Amino acid sequence: MELRLGPLLRYVDDTRATVWVETSAPAEVEVLGHRARTWSVHGHHYALVLVEGLAPDSATPYEVRLDGELHWPPPDTEFGPSVIRTPRADGTFRLTFGSCRRSAPLDEQGFKEFGPDALVALAERMAAGTDESPDAILLLGDQVYADDPSVVVLEKLREAHGGRQGSEVADEIGNFEEYTWLYDDAWLNPAVRWLFSTVPLCMLLDDHDLRDDWNTSLTWRRWVISQPWWHDRVVGAYASYWVYQHLGNLSPEQLDQDPTYRAMQSIEEDDERTAYLDSFAWTADEDTASTRWSFYRDFGDASRGVRLVAIDSRCSRHLDPGDRAMVDAHEWEWVRHHIVQASRPIHHLLLASTLPFLLAPGLHHLEGWDEAISSGAWGARGARIGERIRQGMDLEHWASFRRSFDDVTDLLAAVVGAEDPPASILMLSGDVHCSYLAEARLLAVDHPGTAIRQLTMSPFRNPVPRHIQWANHLLDKRWMTTVLHKLARAAGVRDVAADWRIAHGPWFGNGAMTVTLSGEDWAVEVDHAELHGGRQTLDRTLTYGRLGCV
């Protein structure tokens, strides 16, 4: 019996926590005296243990036992014990976030190709006690790269079937089993494993969790669903995402109401359980309204707390040209409801999406222009050119789904115009392989008491080449922004009801960003990963906001 993967600390509130594990065989999993039986799909065995009765504002070390035998922590760990920390009594909350982490060795070649690992550096900083630890971590997509696996996984793929000969996806992940190899590769690093065992995790998926440019357009989707490898690929992607990432995003109450989780626990036969999960996964792709990947979490003081609303900006897209939407109507209504009609007062709103809401203004205008011509603003030939540019340049952010961008600005206007608006709206994103901080204001309503900021952090470990960095700098030039603005207007693109500027950045190194929220105050810390004498460290690039240097 082995603990194959985990423990992952997922949901934590004042008195409860959930801990996720994968085991090598069916077992009873025990954490702090609370037990759960594993359930099995595709020959793998999982459990999500609900721990209750924790003391508020406490730190409780824990162990993991399988059938009564101790399996965590490992006896030779260089890190401290895994700890469940319940929220602080003073309501202060620290969230570290970022995206895009490639799995690669932590050796000379790995550092040369991908640089130091920001999550490893964060774990080592926490273990050394040299900085305040985050209260939660938000992983904003591309935790795994199904379309570009590491050398380790690539060798397993070729050993398993010699590659899918004659297929363009010969060296890509193709099914649930192969997805499990990706998660092993990403999460078994000792530093990352300890980090994930002791800081609560929230997660969203992005395109590389399935395939680059996933759902970028209707043209792309029509092509991909016609491919013979698509069924097993998308079923494996969604089924594994539900097991490894999404399940832990849910509160105990939400788990009780989740029909798929109830089925995993109640179905007795492994084959039937696997078939159920695969059917759920296929339907999730075929019918976007059949499931919801967006989620919310509440942190801090219940009377004036922090609400994180994490929006799925990949799976529920509506792709018809001329009527594109980043999020379908069903899911967007859910998002609005849990913000505008929240069950508790929101003092700080964290609005998360893997894709940035606010890009550099020049890139925003470029994406607006491309969406317009792809939808026929300059005729059929222009639409074909626009589609090629859209796919070739990855022009698929909120700016290229104008209806949804307007929905976001309308939502923000409703929030700041409420009787008791939040002190801050911080929009958290990743994806773009650079990090920056944008200061924004709405044009339709004054909001002197509410700060609106776009905070983008990417990558954890996957730097872009120099020519892409150069292109980003070019798009940020004032003259280029003016040219692209005029181009967008020529294609009939209206100006949006907001303006913003990139106040800090862009930076292109691996790193992590942390927001700290306390009372009326908020602050942002930008850290970048560096190598110092063979050690991976997080070095402070910027402190911004009311708790630090403005």
What is residue 164's predicted lDDT score, i.e. its pLDDT?
A: 58
Quick: pLDDT tens for 252-304: 999 999 999 999 999 999 999 999 999 999 999 999 999 999 999 999 877 77
For residues 95 and 14, state if they share a domain: no
How close are the terminal C-alpha atoms of the chain, in Å?
53
Asked if residue 402 belongs to a domain, the reply is yes
Asked if residue 306 belongs to a domain, the reply is no
**In this structure, is the dihedral angle defined by the CA atoms of residues 487, 493, 494 and 497, taken in order, positive or negative?**
negative
Asked if residue 134 belongs to a domain, the reply is no
Quick: pLDDT tens for 333-384: 999 999 998 888 899 999 999 999 999 999 999 999 999 999 999 999 999 9
Domain that holds residue 384: 88-126+293-300+318-549
Quick: pLDDT tens for 379-416: 999 999 999 999 999 999 999 999 999 999 999 999 99
Q: In whole angstroms, what is the distance from residue 522 CA to residue 545 CA? A: 6
Residue 548: pLDDT over 80: no
What is residue 303's predicted lDDT score, i.e. its pLDDT?
A: 73
Asked if residue 471 belongs to a domain, the reply is yes
Asked if residue 305 belongs to a domain, the reply is no
For residues 480 and 346, state if they share a domain: yes
State what percent of residues in the chain have pLDDT above 70: 98
Asked if residue 78 belongs to a domain, the reply is yes
Quick: pLDDT tens for 204-217: 999 999 999 899 99
For residues 120 and 183, state if they share a domain: no
Tally of domains in the chain: 2
For residues 441 and 332, state if they share a domain: yes
Which of 287, 309, 333 corresponds to the end of one domain? 287
For residues 234 and 359, state if they share a domain: no
DSSP code, position 242? I
What is the strand order of the sheet 521-532 is part of? Answer: 201-204, 136-140, 93-98, 511-518, 521-532, 535-545
For residues 514 and 447, state if they share a domain: yes
For residues 119 and 264, state if they share a domain: no
Closest C-alpha to 305, from 422, 449, 187:
422
CB 92 within 8 A of CB 298: no
Which of 264, 287, 310 corresponds to the end of one domain? 287
Asked if residue 307 belongs to a domain, the reply is no
Upper half-sphere CA count for residue 527 (Cβ side, 13 Å):
24
Q: Tokens in use for 361?
A: 């203004």
Q: Tokens in use for 243?
A: 């097991």
Quick: pLDDT tens for 30-73: 999 999 999 999 999 999 999 999 999 999 999 999 999 999 99
Quick: pLDDT tens for 74-102: 998 999 999 999 999 999 999 999 999 99
How are beta strands 17-23 and 44-51 bridged, if at all?
antiparallel
For residues 511 and 398, state if they share a domain: yes
For residues 31 and 163, state if they share a domain: yes
For residues 199 and 239, state if they share a domain: yes
For the chain, how are helix, strand and coil distributed in percent, rounded to 5? 35, 25, 35
For residues 40 and 160, state if they share a domain: yes
For residues 3 and 100, state if they share a domain: no
Asked if residue 246 belongs to a domain, the reply is yes
Reported in sequence order, the residue ranges of 163-260 that DSSP labels E, i.e. its strands, are 201-204
In 3-state terms, what secondary structure has residue 79?
coil
Residue 134: pLDDT over 90: yes
| Rg (the chain; Cα; Å) | 23
